[in-house]
Amino acid sequence: MYKLLKTEGRAKLGEFHTVHGVIKTPVFMNVGTIAAIKGAVSTEDLQGIKTQVELSNTYHLHLRPGDKVVKKLGGLHKFMVWDKPILTDSGGFQVFSLTGLRKIKEEGVYFNSHIDGKKIFMGPEESMQIQSNLASTIAMAFDECPPYPATREYMQNSVDRTTRWLKRCIAEMSRLNSLEDTINKSQMLFGINQGGTYSDIRIEHAKVISDLNLDGYAVGGLAVGETHQEMYRILEDVVPYLPQNKPTYLMGVGTPENILESVDRGVDFFDCVLPARNGRHAHVYTNKGKLNLNNVKYELDERPIAEDCNCPACKTYSRAYIRHLFKAKEMLAMRLCVLHNLYFYNNMMEEIRDALEKGEFKAYKKMRLEGFKENSK
């Protein structure tokens, strides 16, 4: 159940009550695709860096170790030792990124595993069954993530199919949640709005899926090649047609700037691989913008990554030391920078919530956006 606590313009402050605890929103979900955060970061680490929600991937876990294996081991929470909410994405995005390896039909998608080439079929029912086996807190509906750019005709047909698939997801989840041996009988379902950069298609789709009274709604199919300005335009157009009293999730986005701009446009759930991926390549976020710790100018720099940061890396180590670890190809380098970046994102979300609570989000956003430009001057 979602509780809208406060608004400032379109921005929302809320609480989402789940069987695995309350999520304070806006929230950034930390991406652990195959039930682990890349960069040698454990779920125990996540407890110490303000993580509220962990996100895992249906497609990858279905292939390895297998969702039936996870179910036999008591579900994803028990398997990875995590007691807070988990969102599983439906596998749609991964399946659709296998261009050349897949065939889309009305019943679902036929594709070849990227691991061993084995033929696999996934449709709405299969995606729901896999996510039910994983026993995540929130499951995502199986949708088609259309290519960018796509013709209007292709987009309309794709969106219509996504709607038909969503109805099948709802029916299948309802069935699965009623079964005796289902681990999480309170699993929630989010629907996904598609339509590329065609505002009218997206708005019509938003109206249709809003009537289905789901637990939450996502805006999918963005951050796939369109400009940031196009993405913001789509959010301005479509978010008003999604229920304000339900979570609004922008999938796969984004940079700290993207998050601030999207919160301002009514989004309150986010996920992105950027903080972990960038951290593994020595790119770290600070309130003054991004740093590349491989740069020679940090060779003798005894300051932490950010002096105003309380993450495990900044409390203990210097830029010079972390740079040395990267140069020596030590795994600890990646670990420290991933921890820092995830903490930075999680902490920024906490600051956003505090600013919304005080009615000062606009001022906070302006201050942060100006600050992020400092290092590029």
Domain range summary for the chain, segments of one domain joined by +:
2-272, 279-376
Neighbours of 35 (CB within 10 A): 20
Residue 81: enclosing H or E segment and its boundaries? none
- Classify the C-alpha dihedral 232-52-29-350 as positive or negative: positive
**What span, in angstroms and rounded, lies between the C-alpha atoms of 166 and 214?**
10
Beta bridge partners of 24: 15
What pLDDT score was predicted for residue 98?
Answer: 80
Does residue 264 have an active-site annotation? no
Q: What is the DSSP letter of 55?
A: E
CATH topology of domain 2-272: TIM Barrel (3.20.20)
Beta bridge partners of 140: 190
Tell me the per-residue pLDDT of 288-302, one tens digit each, with 9 for 90 and over.
999 999 999 999 999
Tell me the per-residue pLDDT of 301-346, one tens digit each, with 9 for 90 and over.
999 999 999 999 999 999 999 999 999 999 999 999 999 999 999 9
CA atoms within 13 A on the CB side of 336: 26
Contact 283, 290 (CB under 8 A): yes
Query: Checking DSSP bridges between strand 188-193 and strand 138-140, what pairing results, if any?
Result: parallel
Indicate which residue of 45, 143, 215, 271 is catalytic: 271
- HEC-encoded secondary structure of 243-299: CCCCCEEECCCCCHHHHHHHHCCCCCEEECCHHHHHHHCCEEEECCEEEECCCHHHC
**Both structure tokens of 301:** 């720099």
DSSP SS3 for 104:
strand
Indicate which residue of 45, 67, 89, 264 is catalytic: 89
Higher pLDDT: 99 or 356? It is: 356
Does residue 301 have an active-site annotation? no
- Judge whether residue 377 has pLDDT over 80: no
pTM of this structure: 0.98
**What span, in angstroms and rounded, lies between the C-alpha atoms of 178 and 166?**
19
Tell me the per-residue pLDDT of 11-60, one tens digit each, with 9 for 90 and over.
999 999 999 999 999 999 999 999 999 999 999 999 999 999 999 999 99
Query: Residue 150 to residues 147, 155, 318: CA-CA distances in angstroms?
Result: 6, 6, 47
